[in-house]
Structures are given as structure tokens and as C-alpha cells.
């Protein structure tokens, strides 16, 4: 039996912080046919709000600590302002979107990160997603929009990395759907030359990835992203695409960005 | 065919602002069997956040105007912080809650209020609810938690009265379910003597309501609430109960508060 296609698309702060780019992206996203899920990150609004509220951001080794006041802010900004504005804009574009945090319908279960040398505060690592709920909502014609907030089933909300959520959703839904996971970021794709946006590698399979790493042809900062992409493929995701959100249509068609495939 | 029962319960700021009361209410709500929907209002957090952010609240005739900055705040607080914390706490109590704004799944369509002599800003009057989506989610075993934020289908979120949302949801779902609408507020019910919490009127039907009004036995401030309750009954709602959220179990059983019925 052929599985139906499902797109899981993650957009980051560079799009969310720019009203014009966000509107253009959401119009393009609404126009993509078929079943789809959007996972959004945060952007600068949470930091600005913390400044306005006089909540000092604690950083350890350059990483933000989610204390109780920061958790309140990210819950308000991610699950409230950003999520509901994206949903309303998608509705206006004729796309029947429904916004969710991981607490809603118990859709993403996580636990507070405790095994790190640093206490990151209310940060969640994903345990599992409810693929049955997401599948039913998609089958009802809804387009899901996930905010990067999860819960621990004990009443605690947790700030959670949006890349990880996108990956876990794509993995969790792969038994039901032929999934494509799209990570959008600032660059046009995986570049052979970090300074040259024209040097996008169109397609990477495991053999080519080994070669790129051996010859040190891939930018070091891309290695964790690519390792995650191959891990997603190992867990049943059909393909992973990395590229610019502004080129969504071309990314999905394989005409832009980098497509990462099994073989 | 007997319709299945559905409870639509509205809680206001007096419960939301008190962590202990809210937790006790949510445990009681989780324990109520059967299909149910919770509609929550705002509370003082939005006002406190506006102060912290330096957003001045405009009041006209004592009523708050929802300008763009205030809409951002209420979207963050109502649809983000309050809604997701209620959902997480219900999940912890074993109740599979899913939080929604009116934009989610296009569940509550509204229009910006324009026919008033005062411009209230981004305030929405409800046009219709999607009873089919709500019914399907309830049939899937989900408990819905609505934040008082709606949308105009043109991409605009709107601040909307939670009492009205509760009433519209109960009306919209009455063709599918035998609905009971519960309005919780500070008092024990409709009182014969506004100063005496022991003077709760247990049951009001249209004939008794006429008598109470003619004899001026009902506190003037209650008349709009009662008029709304009878309007809901006219629109198919089975009964309306008014009382204290702290007495939820007894309210539902008719052992506390005021039950308003057809005849």
C-alpha cells in the first residue's frame, strides 16, 4: 500500500522576526497541496519581551537558561502570540490550521533535561509524540502548527527545541505517512563553500556524506544538522530537505536546497 | 434518540488569579464524567503584564479598549500562558485536554465590533462556531479548553468576551448534544438578597423570572446574565447553571447555585 505524503516543515526565527517574510512564507505554505505540519521556533520577540518585563536572561556557555519567568515568557510568545497569529494568517490564506503545544491532546510528551552538566531549567527532551491524534487531525483536513512547548504529563510545561520537535513528529508519523522533513534556515542549503551561497550541494546520500566528511568538504557547523538528518532517515523519515524558507516551493520540488536521502 | 450530555463550563478571573482555587477547580473539573468543554476568561495577569511592559490601558466608560498592543498581550496571556497551563494541569489530572482559540480549526468566527458608539478596538462579536470540529474532537475523547480569542477569517485575531463564547459554543453544539451551560462567578448563585449568600434561588423558570422582575426581587446586576441565560435556552441549550466554581460538583448535580430551565 502506498502511504500518503506528509510534509513536516520547520521555520526558524529569521522568518518569524520578519513580518514580510513570514507572510510570504505562510502564503507559500498554504499553497502547498496535501497533508502538512508546520513547526515554528521562537525568534527575538521573547528576548524583547523579557527586556520590557525586566526579566534578566541567564546564559551559561552562551545558552539561555529557561527559569520560571522565562518559561512564562516563551509560553506566552511561542504558544500564544506566534502560534495564534500564524494560525489566523493561514486561515486567511484558506488553510485550515490548528495550533498545538505538546500539552494539547498530550501530543508531545517530554521530560525535564536532567542528565546535563548544566541545569538548563525548564527545558524538555522529547519522549514520544501521539501519532494517532496527529494522524486523525490531518485526516480531518486540518493543517497542524506546533509551538516548541511540550509537557511532562505532571502539569509542567517545558521549553523544547523546535528542530527536535519537527524531527520527532516526522519520525512518529512515518509509520502512517511517507514523510518529508524540511528544515528551513538562513542559508540556501548545505554549502561546499560556507561563504558561497551558490555552492549548494543538491543531494547527499550516506556514501557521499562519508566522502564529504573524510575530505573535510562540509562546513563543521553543518555536521550536527546532517547527523540529525541521517538519524531521521534511519528512523523511517523518507527524506530530509535543508534550505531557505523563502524557497519553499522549490525546496519541496528538489529544485533548491539540499535533499538528504537514504541512498 | 437520546442525545449525549455535554457540559460547557465558563470560569472567570476570580478562579484564574488564584493558583490554589484554580488547581482545586481543575481537579474537580477533571473528575466530572462525560463530554465537557471549559471556557476561561482572562484575569489580572494581562493587566499586570501591560504595566510591566509599560503599555497604558485605555478605558472608555470603564471598559478596556483592545488596541494593538493590548491585543498582543491578551493573545499571549489568554491563548498562551493561561490556556496551556490549564491544559497541562488537566493532563496531569488524567483529563485529555486540548486548548483552542477561535482561530484554531476556524472554530469560532467573529467580526470586529463596529456598530458601537465607542471603538473598542480589536474586540470580536461571534458570528458562528464550527460545531462539527468540536463534536469530532469531543467524540475522540478530548476535552476542549477555549481561550477568549477569536478571528475574523481575514488574519485578524480578536479579543472576545468569554461568557459569550461559552454561550455560543453551548448553542452551536445543542443540535448534537444535550447541553448544560455553567457560568461560574463570585457569588453562590442568583440571590434574593444581594448581601446574603444564603439567599440563593435554586431554580428559575420563565414564569418565576417574570415574577421576580415584576416584584423587583432580583438584583439589577443579574438581569443581563439571566436574560442571556434565557436566550441560550431559547436557542436550544438544555439548562443554564449559575454559581461558584468552587462548588462545581454540586452545581452540576443541582445541589448548589441557580438552575435556569425552560419551564
| Structure ipTM | 0.96
- Chain A residue set in contact with B, beta carbons under 8 Å: 49, 52-54, 72, 75-81, 83-85, 87-89, 91-92, 96-101, 103-106, 133, 136, 140, 142, 149, 151, 153-157
Answer yes or no: is A239 within a domain: no
Three cell numbers at B83? 490556556
Question: Which phi and psi (to 5°) does residue B92 adopt?
Answer: -65, -30
Contacts of B106 in chain A (CB under 8 A): 91, 96
Q: What is the mean pLDDT of chain A?
A: 94
Compute the distance between CA of residue B120 and CA of residue B118 in angstroms, rounded to an integer.
6
Answer yes or no: is B79 within a domain: yes
Task: Residue B117: give the domain boundaries.
Answer: 5-185
Answer yes or no: is A92 within a domain: yes
Q: Which pLDDT score, from 0 to 100, does residue A1 have? A: 65
Cα atoms in the Cβ-side hemisphere of radius 13 Å centred on B195: 0
Answer yes or no: is A254 within a domain: no
Residue A87: closest CA among A148, A146, A140, A36? A146
Q: For B39-58, what is each residue's pLDDT tens digit?
A: 998 889 999 999 999 999 88
A77, A101, A105 ranked by CB distance to B76: nearest: A77
Q: Distance (Å) from the C-alpha of residue B246 to the closest C-alpha of chain A?
A: 20
For residue B121, what is the DSSP state? B
Chain centroid to CA A120: how far?
A: 20
Expressed in percent and rounded to 5, the helix, strand and coil fractions of chain A are 40, 25, 35
Q: For A74-96, what is each residue's pLDDT tens digit?
A: 999 999 999 999 999 999 999 99
| Confidence class for position A64, pLDDT limits 50, 70, 90 | confident
Q: Do B101 and A105 touch (CB under 8 A)?
A: no
Q: Which pLDDT score, from 0 to 100, does residue A61 have? A: 74
Q: Is the pTM of this model over 0.90?
A: yes
Q: Which residue of B has its CA nearest to A54?
A: B52
| Confidence class for position A178, pLDDT limits 50, 70, 90 | very high
Strand partners, B181: B8, B240
- Report the percentage of chain A scoring pLDDT > 70: 99
| Confidence class for position B1, pLDDT limits 50, 70, 90 | low
B207 has a pLDDT exceeding 90: yes
Answer yes or no: is A54 within a domain: yes
Q: Which residue of A has its CA nearest to B83?
A: A80
Answer yes or no: is A212 within a domain: no
Q: Do A77 and B80 touch (CB under 8 A)?
A: yes
Question: Which phi and psi (to 5°) does residue A84 adopt?
Answer: -75, -30
Q: Which residue of A has its CA nearest to B89?
A: A155
Answer yes or no: is A204 within a domain: no
Compute the distance between CA of residue B157 and CA of residue A92 in angstroms, rounded to an integer.
11
Answer yes or no: is A233 within a domain: no
Compute the distance between CA of residue B203 and CA of residue B158 in angstroms, rounded to an integer.
35
B219 has a pLDDT exceeding 80: no
Please answer whether residues B112 and B155 qualify as being in contact, where contact means their C-beta atoms are separated by less than 8 angstroms: no
Q: Do A80 and B85 touch (CB under 8 A)?
A: no
B104, B136, B156 ranked by CB distance to A99: nearest: B104
Contacts of B142 in chain A (CB under 8 A): 105
- Count: domains in chain A: 1
Q: Do B75 and A81 touch (CB under 8 A)?
A: yes
Three cell numbers at A20? 514580510
B77, B89, B155 ranked by CB distance to A76: nearest: B77
CATH of the domain at B181: 3.40.1160.10
Q: Distance (Å) from the C-alpha of residue A85 to the closest C-alpha of chain B?
A: 7
Secondary structure element (H or E) that encloses residue B84, with its range: helix B83-92
Strand partners, A184: A243
Compute the distance between CA of residue A95 and CA of residue B128 in angstroms, rounded to an integer.
18
Compute the distance between CA of residue B25 and CA of residue B216 in angstroms, rounded to an integer.
34
Distances (CA, A) of A91 to A31, A157, B153: 12, 27, 6
B101, B140, B153 ranked by CB distance to A92: nearest: B153
Compute the distance between CA of residue A102 and CA of residue A85 in angstroms, rounded to an integer.
18
Q: Distance (Å) from the C-alpha of residue B263 to the closest C-alpha of chain A?
A: 38
Amino acid at each position: 500500500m502506498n502511504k500518503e505524503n506528509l510534509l513536516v516543515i520547520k521555520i526558524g526565527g529569521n522568518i518569524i522576526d520578519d513580518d514580510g517574510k513570514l507572510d510570504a512564507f505562510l502564503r507559500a505554505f498554504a499553497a502547498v497541496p496535501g497533508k502538512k505540519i508546520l513547526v515554528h521556533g521562537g525568534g527575538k520577540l521573547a528576548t524583547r519581551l523579557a527586556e520590557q518585563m525586566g526579566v534578566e536572561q541567564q546564559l551559561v556557555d552562551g545558552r539561555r537558561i529557561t527559569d520560571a519567568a522565562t518559561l512564562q515568557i516563551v509560553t506566552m510568545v511561542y504558544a500564544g502570540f506566534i502560534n495564534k497569529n500564524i494560525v489566523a494568517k493561514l486561515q486567511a490564506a484558506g488553510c485550515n490550521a490548528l495550533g498545538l503545544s505538546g500539552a494539547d491532546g498530550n501530543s508531545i510528551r517530554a521530560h525535564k533535561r536532567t542528565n546535563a552538566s548544566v541545569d538548563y531549567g525548564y527545558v524538555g527532551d522529547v519522549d514520544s509524540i501521539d501519532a494517532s491524534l496527529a494522524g486523525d487531525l490531518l485526516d480531518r483536513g486540518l493543517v497542524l502548527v506546533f509551538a516548541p512547548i511540550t509537557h511532562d504529563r505532571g502539569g509542567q510545561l517545558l521549553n523544547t527545541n523546535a528542530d527536535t520537535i519537527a524531527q520527532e513528529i516526522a519520525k512518529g508519523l512515518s509509520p502512517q505517512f511517507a514523510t518529508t522533513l524540511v528544515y528551513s534556515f538562513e542559508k540556501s542549503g548545505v554549502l561546499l563553500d560556507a561563504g558561497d551561497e551558490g555552492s549548494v550541494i543538491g543531494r547527499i546520500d550516506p556514501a557521499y556524506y562519508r566522502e564529504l566528511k573524510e575530505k573535510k568538504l562540509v562546513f563543521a557547523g553543518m555536521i550536527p544538522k546532517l547527523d540529525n538528518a541521517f538519524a531521521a532517515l534511519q528512523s523511517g523519515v523518507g527524506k530530509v530537505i535543508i534550505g531557505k524558507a523563502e524557497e519553499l516551493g522549490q525546496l519541496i520540488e528538489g529544485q533548491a536546497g539540499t535533499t538528504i536521502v537514504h541512498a
